[in-house]
A and B are shown apart, each in its own frame.
Chain A
Amino acid sequence: MRNTFRQSMAWLHTWAGLIVSWVLFAIFLGGTLACFDKELDYWMRPALHQLKPGPPSMDAAAKTLRGMAPNAETLYLRPPSDRDPSIRGFAFEPGKPYIDVALNPRDGALIPPTVGGNFFFVLHYNLQAGTLGIYLVGLAGMLMLLALISGVIIHRRVFKDFFVFRPRPGGQRAWLDGHNLTGVLGLPFHLMIAYTGVIIMMSSYMTAGVQIGYRGDMARYYEALSGTSHPVEQHRPPRRVASLDKILGDAVQRLGGAVEYLEIEHIHDASITISALSAGNDEVAGGRRNLIYDGTEGSFRGESEGPPTAYRTYQFLSGLHRVQFGGAAIRWLYFLLGATGCVMLATAAQVWIEKRTRQVEAAGLRSGYGLVRALNVGVIAGMPLASVSLLWANRLLPYELAGRAGMEAQSFCAIWLLATIWGVLRLRHGKPWRDLFGTTAALLFALPLMNALTQPHSSLLASIAARDWVLAGIDATALAFGLGFAWLAWTSTRPRQLASRDPRMAPPRSSVARSEAALPAVETP
């Protein structure tokens, strides 16, 4: 079909990349923002900004959570940490939506709900589309892995191309150089992210091992993974429930470090068991130790044997992806590399679309790529706008409003949809890139101001004075990115449109013929 191995790989690169570059862009931007999901959670919950110092009350939090999910068998409580001062509660009742709440660490009161930074995390792993979304994201990750490996193969001169950036001649050359630059810069990171991203959800879509090894019994498989066994039910209610605060204190002492979760199993049964999972923030693979307590007496029963070796390998790989280790510096590194990934994908889509639009125009055909180009504007420029709009919606929607978390999510979707419509309407007779980048820049610049007006205690100045660097960091980052988007808006006001308007860039007719091969770097003179 293709004559040389490298040509066939160029072919694979174009198609594997194209099919998913929009989906991957959304996944990448979501994942990049989710590097700071807990920090955004905190920013989006002003009720947490004025906490008085003091010890957390896990018992009060458990009481609130039990009231919200009276029929749940298992409750999870995450104690406050450096990154999140709230107590987080998780519970699942059969036939009801999953409960995920933030609770006041002092009295266990419910903090007004918000989708939080978690919105970007969910967008990242299932596109907010449930199980189907998990499969879609897995497939997109697999295609990314293929695009990366074929991309390396077609790039004979990876090192040289890294130093090539030719923005002047305009158009496709600059986009392609930008794609190569960001692609090569982030390559080791992107390879790692693609593979670890695919395997994180492997038990959802690669079930052959469980089918053979456990006859498809997922429950037994998970039990073997965790290295713990579930308590045997005794079918009578517990006399009482031990104090979670005492258990937490004891666990922190025994572990010599933080506790990630308290798990309360069989809460309505005399077999009630409470386990404390170590946070293990100093290890890539996360916590491995699991302390088990009697749920009625609160006495220490022992430590589970921990995960098996291969699962520890899996935890290391997924830990590399989930970046819960190493503190803020590593998260910033992931954030910046994720941002270069977004640029790589945005420029990839641009290269593909501009090239074909030009060919179609040069061939004198009626362009079929108008809609594709407009949708490209909507996806690429619309999503950052929708993301910053989510932060605006968080502050502008009244905190007492029922169902406000859902309304935040709706405002994100509505803005993204409007941006796409704007792209369709304005592409021919306007500059939708400039409009959307400019609006994003304006919203980012004005974010600290709006924050100061709606939540004076959480403003940039107030948080600097209080040395609350997480809060101040988000406002400051918004300002920095505002500058970036203003620059993008400014560059997209310059005329750099289609080949037909710029005779230098019109390709000779014969080169149209070679179109589909799309051999980016191979053909570079």
Chain B
Amino acid sequence: MSETSSGHLKRRTAVTPIYRLAVASRIIAALVGGYLVAYASAALLTVVLPMSRINRVVTASLLSFVVWTVVAIGVFAARNAWRSWWPLLAGGGVMLVLAFVFRNYGMRP
């Protein structure tokens, strides 16, 4: 809510419901949205990584938590709620669709 064009930190006199909503939105984006992107990245990495199947699955899962962390930081650094949400939905969605389309290739030994 304290979105200011002048660029200085605006003083708040009270915690408004809108502010609480903004915090809740970021936390949900960081946790739920971050998880979705991490999940999608694990799925896509399982398809594309150049190694054997079991190694692809384990490596993708290990890396997905790094993805989640980076996404959560991006969510809180974004300038407004919309900018924190749409890259998650777009990026996560594209990765999930790609992983699903190439799912048979992901099962190669």
> Which residues on A are within 8 Å of B, measured CB to CB?
1-3, 5, 7-9, 11-12, 15-16, 19, 139, 142-143, 145-146, 149-150, 195, 198-199, 202-203, 206, 208-215, 221, 224-225, 308-311, 313-314, 317, 510, 513-517
Contact = CB atoms under 8 A, between A and B. Distances in A.
Nearest to B84: A1
B59 A310 contact: yes
Contact of A3 (B8, B58, B106): B8
A464 to B, nearest CB: 46
B58 A313 contact: yes
B12 A209 contact: no
A149 B34 CA distance: 15
A310 to B, nearest CB: 4
Contacts of A212: 43, 46-47, 57, 99, 103, 106-107
A210 B57 contact: yes
Given A199-B61, A214-B57, A1 B78 contact: yes
Given A143-B31, A149-B73, A202-B61, 19 more contacts: A1-B2, A1-B78, A11-B26, A145-B69, A150-B76, A199-B61, A208-B39, A208-B64, A213-B56, A213-B57, A214-B57, A221-B54, A221-B57, A310-B59, A310-B62, A311-B55, A515-B12, A515-B15, A516-B12
Contacts of A19: 27
A246 B22 CA distance: 66
A15 B60 CA distance: 28
17 contacts: A2-B76, A142-B65, A202-B61, A202-B65, A206-B61, A208-B43, A208-B60, A208-B61, A209-B45, A212-B107, A213-B46, A310-B54, A310-B59, A310-B62, A314-B58, A516-B19, A517-B9
Given A208-B39, A213-B46, A214-B57, A513 B13 contact: yes
Interface string B42-53: 110111000111
A149 B69 contact: yes
A139 B31 contact: yes
B39 A224 contact: no
Interface residues of B, number: 53
Interface in B1-39: 2-4, 7-9, 11-13, 15, 19, 22-23, 26-27, 30-31, 38-39
Contact of B62 (A8, A11, A202, A514): A202
Given A145-B69, A211-B43, A8 B77 contact: yes
A3 B7 CA distance: 6
A317 B62 contact: yes
A225 B77 CA distance: 38
Which residue, of A208, A309, A311, A317, has the highest number of chain B Cβ atoms within 10 A?
A208
Given A9-B73, A12-B72, A146 B27 contact: no
A211 B99 CA distance: 10
A146 B78 CA distance: 15
Contacts of B31: 139, 142-143
Contacts of B40: 208
Contacts of B76: 2, 8-9, 11-12, 150
Nearest to A509: B13
Task: Return the 8 tightest CB-CB contacts between A and B, nearest first.
Answer: A209-B57, A208-B42, A310-B58, A12-B76, A310-B55, A208-B43, A224-B54, A212-B106
Contacts of B26: 1, 11-12, 15
Given A195-B65, A310-B59, A150 B7 contact: no
Contacts of B27: 15-16, 19
A306 to B, nearest CB: 12
B89 to A, nearest CB: 17
